[in-house]
Chains A and B, each alone.
Chain A
Amino acid sequence: MVMGQGLTRLILAIALLVACPLASSATDVPIVLIANPNVPIDSLTRETIRAIFAMRQRTLPDGQAVHVFVLPDESRVHARFAKEYLGVYPHQLRLSWDRVVFSGTGQAPNHVDSQAEMVERVATTPGGIGYIEQGYLDDRVRLLPLQ
């Protein structure tokens, strides 16, 4: 009896451990990388995306100028994008931007205040690239999968 109770608790604990990450990821809407429809590439590698969002690569692989759009540093979506897509923390990105801007080796990204604005600006800027939660996706922008 005592054994049985212990076993039940153990199973319950394991079930919770397994279920919890699933539960949290279910509430987190996936974040997607988006681009202006004129961007003629189907996917990007993680290192290329890192270089573009660190503002160290100014052109897309097809040669056109890239225009990077980002949400504010304190945005949860920005923090998740940085972590999940780039594998970096927002403070590292900020330092990277400051270093290129104040050494003459690059420019700062374009800041937008909301995901709706992000879609709008990426849709209307040739070479535009940004990120949003999947729910904000519409047919004015194209999805850019990670290679």
Chain B
Amino acid sequence: MIVSAYYRCSSACTGLTMALIAAACNVAPARAEGMLDTVQVHGFLSQALIVTDENNFFGPSSHDGGSLQYTEIGANLSFRPRQDVLIAIQGISRRAGADDSDFEPDLDYGLVDYQLFSSVDRTLGIQLGRVKNPFGFYNQTRDVAFTRPSILLPQSIYFDRTRSVGLAGDGISIYEQERLPNGTLYFQAGIGKPQVNDDAEKALSTTEPTLDGQISIISQIRYEHDGGRIIAALSAGRAQSRYEVDSKDSDSGTFVFQPWILSLQYNEDLWSLTAEYALRKRSLSGLNNAQHNYDITGESWYLQYTRRFQRDWQWLLRYDVLVNDRNDRSGRKLAATGAAPAYSQFAKDLTTGVQWRIHPQVLLAAEYHHVDGTGWLTIGDNEGETDQYWNMLLFQASLRF
């Protein structure tokens, strides 16, 4: 799978990563044995069953007992050829309803991490290759069920419908850790080519324009106090793509996505409280057909409480709100044009769920969503009429090694 993931990686990215890996692996034979000691292989697999009363999410979930079309499989390899170098690569194969990925293996990340400087109170490093974007609390490991508090991440911020836009970038990233007397400050900034796939093309317009990722910058500053009892982070990014309409009225422009996320978490032994707030600015400019240009800002936030029982159980309660356009919170303005129903412009999701770790490597989870609005409903799964109010029940089994 990793091999085929490499194959999928753009040629420039493959070439760069391969060259870096080759250079980093060019070590004296005496070191080779030590390097082999550091080789690690890990992986994960998860399968969900999704049942909805109205609307479809990740497959035909409202028909015939639900949808099994939510599967995540991944494996990674990492090693340290030198004390200051880490090489890590992960392949992922995923299916999520009608999106086009359909188990096609993909390179999730593939990078060389070189620590330029490391002392008692400071570490400075650089990453080259395909790097996951540090976007909010969960983006970097969003496809690994064990790192999520629930089966679905809060969709207002970690939307699956256009997931590719903020997922990872092919380029360079620098990071710094500053250890303070009772806390650590983390800083990361990266620049590269964003991964923009079909999901975004479908979501942006019914004309299904072609998007070509041009440049993305992302940065995050995070402070963890007292061993992570209190965590605060601010993430900011900008992903730019060329936007081409290939239909009879061919046209082109520039699509820019600029998210800001403020993240806060408080952890106790038996419970955690998490909140994130995001502003998502999206603009399309430069089209000759000027009435299709736009510049809108969406707003997302959620508040989440998790409670642990008996070490193996966790219960979650969350309220998650998405507003597609801050200047049209109810969606009425858009509905007046006849383009889409008002409720497609927001989503208010009340979620409760449980996770049971029956074994350190096995996780079972179940959760219930009551949703008002279809703001993050996956598009390909719902060709016809949709309903404003809908309920969703999910079950998931996950393994990791």
Q: Check if B131 sits within 8 Å of A57, measured CB to CB.
A: no
Select the stretch in B61-69, B83-91, B291-299, B324-332 that faces chain A: B83-91
Number of A-B residue pairs at CB separation under 8 A:
114
Verify if B383 is at the interface (C-beta below 8 Å from A): no
Q: Check if A47 sits within 8 Å of B131, measured CB to CB.
A: no
Select the stretch in A14-22, A31-39, A92-100, A131-139 that faces chain B: A92-100
Q: Check if B140 sits within 8 Å of A47, measured CB to CB.
A: no
Min CB gap A113→B, angstroms: 13
Q: Which of B86-139 contact A (CB under 8 A)?
A: 86, 88-90, 109-111, 113, 115, 118-121, 123, 127, 131-132
Q: Check if B147 sits within 8 Å of A107, measured CB to CB.
A: no
Partner of A104, one of B90, B180, B181, B400: B90
Query: What DSSP secondary structure best describes chain B's contact surface?
Result: strand
Mark interface residues in B386-401 (1 if CB within 8 Å of A CB, else 0): 0000000000000010
Partner of A47, one of B118, B127, B184: B184
Partner of B80, one of A56, A74, A107: A107
Verify if A59 is at the interface (C-beta below 8 Å from B): yes
Partner of A45, one of B140, B144, B179: B179
Q: Which residues of A contact B42 (CB under 8 A)?
A: 101-102, 108
Partner of B44, one of A73, A102, A108: A102
Min CB gap A126→B, angstroms: 8
Mark interface residues in A73-111 (1 if CB within 8 Å of B CB, else 0): 110000000000011110110011011011111111000
Q: Check if A86 sits within 8 Å of B227, measured CB to CB.
A: yes
Q: Check if A104 sits within 8 Å of B84, measured CB to CB.
A: no
Q: Check if A47 sits within 8 Å of B83, measured CB to CB.
A: no
Beyond A58-B115, A63-B118, A92-B227, whether A104 also contacts B83 by CB under 8 A is no
Beyond A65-B80, A103-B132, A107-B80, whether A98 also contacts B146 by CB under 8 A is yes
Q: Check if B109 sits within 8 Å of A103, measured CB to CB.
A: yes
Mark interface residues in B139-150 (1 if CB within 8 Å of A CB, else 0): 011001011000
Q: Check if B40 sits within 8 Å of A107, measured CB to CB.
A: yes
Verify if B307 is at the interface (C-beta below 8 Å from A): no
Q: Which residues of A contact B228 (CB under 8 A)?
A: 88, 92, 96
Partner of A59, one of B115, B181, B308, B400: B115
Beyond A51-B184, A63-B83, A87-B227, whether A104 also contacts B111 by CB under 8 A is yes
Interface size on B, as a range, is 35 or more
Q: Check if A45 sits within 8 Å of B120, measured CB to CB.
A: yes
Q: Check if A47 sits within 8 Å of B121, measured CB to CB.
A: yes
Q: Which residues of A contact B400 (CB under 8 A)?
A: 98
Q: Which of B227-245 contact A (CB under 8 A)?
A: 227-229
Verify if A145 is at the interface (C-beta below 8 Å from B): no
Beyond A58-B80, A107-B80, whether A87 also contacts B140 by CB under 8 A is no
Q: Check if A103 sits within 8 Å of B83, measured CB to CB.
A: no
Verify if B382 is at the interface (C-beta below 8 Å from A): no
CA distance A105 to B180 in the complex (A): 21
Q: Which residues of B contact A114 (CB under 8 A)?
A: none
Q: Which residues of B contact A101 (CB under 8 A)?
A: 40, 42, 76, 78
Verify if A48 is at the interface (C-beta below 8 Å from B): yes
Beyond A47-B121, A47-B180, whether A104 also contacts B38 by CB under 8 A is no
Verify if A40 is at the interface (C-beta below 8 Å from B): no
Q: Which residues of A contact B253 (CB under 8 A)?
A: none
A residues at B contact (CB < 8 Å): 44-48, 50-51, 56-59, 61, 63-65, 72-74, 86-89, 91-92, 95-96, 98-99, 101-108
16 A-B pairs in the complex with CB atoms less than 8 angstroms apart: A45-B120, A47-B121, A47-B180, A47-B182, A51-B179, A59-B118, A65-B83, A73-B360, A91-B308, A98-B147, A102-B42, A102-B144, A103-B132, A104-B88, A105-B113, A108-B40
Among all A-B residue pairs, the 4 with the closest Cβ atoms:
A104-B88, A65-B83, A103-B140, A47-B179
19 more contacts with CB within 8 A, not counting A103-B132, A108-B42, are A45-B179, A47-B121, A57-B177, A58-B86, A58-B118, A61-B120, A87-B226, A92-B227, A92-B228, A92-B267, A98-B141, A99-B147, A102-B90, A102-B140, A104-B90, A105-B127, A106-B86, A107-B38, A107-B86
